[in-house]
Amino acid sequence: MRGHIPDSAPSHRLPALLLILPLGLFLAFNFLFPIGVMLSRAVLEREVPAAWPNTAAALSDWRGERLPDSGVVARFAEELRRSREDGTLSAAANRLNYDIGGFRSLLRHTAAALPLPPDRPPLEALIAIDARWGEAETWNAIKRACGPLTSFYLLASLDLRLAAAGRVVSVPDDRALFLDVFARTFWIGTVVTLACLVLGYPLAYLLATRPAHIAYPLLILVLLPFWTSILVRTTAWVVLLQRNGVVNDLLQWLQLVSAPVDLIYNRVGVYVAMTHVLLPFLVLPLYGVMKGISRDGMRAAASLGAPPLLAFRKTYVPHTIPGVIAGSLIVFMLALGYYVTPALVGGPDDQMIAYFVASYTNQSLNWGMAAALSVLLLLATLLLIGLYRSLVGARIRAWG
């Protein structure tokens, strides 16, 4: 079949390319470029080199063991004073504060006490303002932030940090968070995808095989919530699942439980609400695929003596695999980026990576961390999907 379609001649390709050029430009400028710029913040140092270019250059030659010499210190003091006046100090101070808590106020009160008195060695004068200037670690933090590239944010996203002499060490236990959150994100995504599959597969089968007067009203019931705002659907679950809600009342009336159970503001609530919100994304592609499957195979199998379940498994299920793959991939990918639903119905130990990306973006403005977490989530997701596709692809070939 493929051989009969002639390759389009090169002369026809140019107009075709020109026709899609606007789309290509649109995607590049509105999608690839801004996302690329945002993600590049994960590895680029901007603030300190922008505020103190000479200090950054001078510190790159400094070994980091003893305190820097007076030339470097004098240059730093001068640039610190200038950056306070032209407004670049704030960004640099916030960047250094990510590394060492308290750096912001150190820089601000130091800058306010400048210029240094001319009659003393500059380092001694700085130490007189604040003793922390006498510690190599203070200067090392500045050196680490001098760029142009940094591993700081990516390491921090993996609960690691650079210690003295370039060794990578784990952060203290009471701050180790993100490995846990990544694991949690993928776990919640997996559970929700499986739950959607268990609920969605029979539903899609029902929709695809019943006569229209039964199937269409059911389909509307699937689509209606699909068209409803996610916020409304999530809030509806709050009403249903809260301690004095419908579900708890029912459970108590049936005497299954004696006191209200916690069904919301914990992991259970997150699973339930996310599965409900994402279910249509699995049902619809699966329904589309099932609609196109002829049931003759099952009849043939039955006529040859196969019991119904065996006939279903051997002749029907293999045809639905593309729909299962498409639906579960969509659900899984959407689940990984979920933010609103866990924020509203989960506790602090149910928040996923997107929650922290949003919090770093909006609240603390640590865009380097937001970018680093996004990059890692993106990479991990691509890796998992590649793995999934190759596994399932092999499976299909085996079935086919």
Partner 1 sequence: MRTRSTVLLFVVAILCACSRGPEQRPLTVVGWGGTSQAAHRNAYWLAYEKGTGVPIREDVWHGGIGVLRAKVMGGDPGWDVVQAEVEEVILGCEEGVLEPLDWPALGGRDAFFAPAVHDCGVGAMVWSYLLAYDGDRLDDDPQSWADFWNVARFPGKRGMRKTPKYTLEIALLADGVAPADVYRLLRTPEGLARAFAKLDTLRPHIVWWSSISQVPDLIHSGEVAMSVASPGRLLLVNQTEGKNFKVVWNQNIYAVDFWVVLKNSPRRKEAMDLVRFMTRPGNQSRLPTLIPTGPSHKQAIAAMSAQDRARTPLAPENIRNALALDAEFWVEHLDPLTQRFNAWAARGQDG
Binding stretches for partner 1 (CB under 8 A): 86-87, 89-91, 94, 97-98, 101-102, 104-105, 173-177, 180-181, 184, 238, 242-245, 265, 343-344, 347-349, 351, 356, 359-367, 369
Listing DSSP states for 184-230 in one string gives: HHHHHHHHHHHHHHHHHHHHHHHHHHS-HHHHHHHHHHHHHHHHS-H
Is residue 241 within 8 A of residue 264, CB to CB? The reply is yes
Ordered DSSP codes for 261-311: ---SSSHHHHHHHHHHHHHHHHHHHHHHHHHT--SHHHHHHHHTT--HHHH
Largest CA distance in the chain: 104
- Residue 241: CB minimum distance to partner 1, A: 10
Closest to partner 1 by CB, 243 vs 389, is: 243
103 vs 205, beta carbon nearer partner 1: 103
Cα-based distances in Å from 257 to 212, 249, 270, 350 = 41, 10, 21, 25
Closer residue to partner 1 in complex, CB, 89/123? 89
Number of Cβ within 10 Å of residue 207's Cβ equals 21
Least Cβ distance, residue 185 to partner 1 (angstroms): 12
Minimum CB distance to partner 1, residue 115 (Å): 19
Closest CA to 203 of 318, 280, 293, 308: 280
Q: Smallest distance from the beta carbon of 175 to partner 1, in angstroms?
A: 5
Nearer Cβ to partner 1 (266/381): 266
Q: Give me the least distance between CB of 84 and partner 1, in Å please.
A: 9
Burial 56-83 (b: 16+ CB within 10 A, else e): bebbeebebeebbeeebbbbbbbbbbeb
DSSP class of 134: G
**Smallest distance, partner 1 to C-beta of residue 174, A:** 6
Q: Are 361 and 367 in contact (CB under 8 A)?
A: yes
Alpha-carbon distance of 57 to 322, in angstroms, equals 56
Q: How far is the CB of 309 from partner 1 (least distance, A)?
A: 42
Q: How far is CA 147 from the centre of its chain?
A: 25
In the bound state with partner 1, the residue whose beta carbon lies nearer, of 60 and 170, is 170
Q: Which is nearer to partner 1, 94 or 190 (CB)?
A: 94
Looking at the Cβ atoms of 105 and 228, the one nearer to partner 1 is 105
